[in-house]
Amino acid sequence: MTVNIGFIGLGIMGKPMALNLIKGGYPLWVYGRRVESMAPLRAAGARACASPEEVARAAEITFIMVSDTQDVEQVILGPKGVLSGAKPGTIVVDMSTISPVATRSLATRLMESGIEMLDAPVSGGESGAVDGLLSLMVGGKSEIFDRVKPLFERMGKKIVHMGANGAGQAAKACNQIAASLTIEGVAEAFTFARRSGVDPGRVREALMGGFANSRILELHGQRMLDHDFRPGFKVRLHQKDLRIVMETAHQMGIALPGSALVAQHLNALIGSGEGELDSSALVNAIERLNEGR
C-alpha cells in the first residue's frame, strides 16, 4: 500500500535521508527553510511545499530533521506548522536531537489533536545518512513504531525501540555522552603522546589492536592526525547536544562531570571560531591547554 510521506529539514542529514525514502518508492512532500535545499529532492521526484503545514496536510507520516528543540517546536506548533495541517490518525516522527522533556510535551500536545508521535534521533553522521546505515533510537507506542519501521529501514541499519515518548531522545543523549568522552579521551591520548616524544600515529595503530579500540579512535583519530576537520558532525551541533544532556541532567539532579568538562571544551572551540569544524577538533582545545609545556 502506498503511503504519502512528508519530510521537513533538508540539511546535511535530512537531504540524504529523504532521498533514501524516494529511492524506496515512497511519494514524498518536502519542505526546507532554504528554497535551494529542496532542489535535489524535486529533481528526484519529490513535491516541494511552501510550509510545514502544507507537508503535513499531504502526508500520512511526516518526518522532521532540524537542529534544535526550538526549531522542532516552531516546525510543529508555529504559524503554518505541522499541527495546523496534520489530520487525526497521522504520525509525526521527529528525528532531530532535542530535549527528552520537550519531546514528551510535544507528544502530549499532538495526541490532544489525535496525532501520534515518535522520537527517533539518529547516530552515524553524514556518511551513515547517505548510505542508509544510521542507528535509530526510537521512543513512542510500539504499534506506531511497527507501522513506521519499514520507513526507518530505508534510512538505517540498527533500529531499536527504546520505550515511550522521550526514550529515543534519552538514548541519543547516552550516545552523545559516550561519544564525546571517547573523542576527548583520544584527543588527550594523542596530546600525551606528542608531549612524550612518541608518534601519535603509531600510538593509534597500537591502540587499535587492544581494548582501547573504537570507531572513534579509527575515524576521529585519523582526522586528528591529519588535522582534517571537514565536518561530519559539527562542533556547534555537538555543543548543542551536550547542552541538552547537561540541562536534562540538571532537571534530574544527577552529576555528569565528564560530560560537563567536554561541554566546556566545545564551548572554547565555539569561542575560537571553530564551531563549523568536525567535533574531532576537540584535539585543538586540548593542545591549546598544553601550549608552552
Torsion of CA 102, 108, 114, 118, to 10 degrees: 50
In percent, how much of the chain has pLDDT > 70? 99
Tell me: do 156 and 174 sit in the same domain: no
Overall average pLDDT of the 69-73 stretch: 96
Domain holding 65: CATH number? 3.40.50.720
Owning domain of residue 131: 5-164
> In this structure, are 70 and 143 located in the same domain?
yes
Please report, as a single letter, which amino acid is at residue 230: R
* pLDDT value of position 25: 94
Give the end of a domain, one of 139, 164, 189. Answer: 164
235/270 same-domain check: yes
Nine-digit cell at 84? 495546523
* pLDDT, average across residues 263-274: 97
Does pLDDT of 159 surpass 70? yes
The pLDDT score that the predictor gives to residue 122 is 96
pLDDT in the model for residue 224: 98
28-31 and 5-8 as β-strands: parallel, antiparallel, unpaired? parallel
SS3 182: helix
The percent of residues above 90 in pLDDT, for the chain, comes to 95
18-33 core/surface letters (b: 16 or more CB in 10 A; e: else)? bbbbbeeebbbbbbbe
Q: What is the pLDDT of residue 81?
A: 97
State the CATH number of the domain containing residue 183. 1.10.1040.10
- List pLDDT tens digits, range 236-249: 999 999 999 999 99
pLDDT of residue 275: 97
Query: In this model, does residue 161 exceed pLDDT 90?
Result: yes
How confident is the model over 76-94, as a mean pLDDT? 97
Give CA torsion, residues 245, 251, 255, 260, to 10 deg.
40
18 and 53 co-located in one domain: yes
> Catalytic one among 15, 172, 234, 240?
172
Total structural domains within the chain: 2
Confidence category of residue 1, pLDDT binned at 50, 70, 90: low
Say if residue 208 is in the same domain as residue 136: no
pLDDT for res 232: 81
pLDDT in the model for residue 233: 86
Last residue within a domain, chosen from 164, 198, 216: 164
Q: pTM for the complete prediction?
A: 0.91
Place of cell 534510512: 155
Once rounded to an integer, what is the mean pLDDT over residues 212-225?
A: 96
The tens digit of pLDDT for each residue in 177-199 reads: 999 999 999 999 999 999 999 99
pLDDT of residue 225: 98
Instruction: Give the pLDDT confidence of 110-128 residue by residue, as tens digits.
Output: 999 999 999 999 998 888 9
Among 63, 73, 126, smallest CA distance to 98 is for 73
pLDDT, the chain, mean? 96
The Cα 92–Cα 170 span in angstroms is 18
Q: CA 258 from chain center: how many Å?
A: 21
| Amino acid 49: pLDDT | 97
Cα–Cα distance for residue pair 42/38, rounded to 1 Å: 6
Banded model confidence at residue 293, pLDDT cuts 50, 70, 90:
low
Is 172 an active-site residue?
yes
Element (H, E) at 137: strand 134-139
Q: What is the dihedral of CA 250, 75, 170, 234, to 10 degrees?
A: -90
Q: Are residues 136 and 17 in the same domain?
A: yes
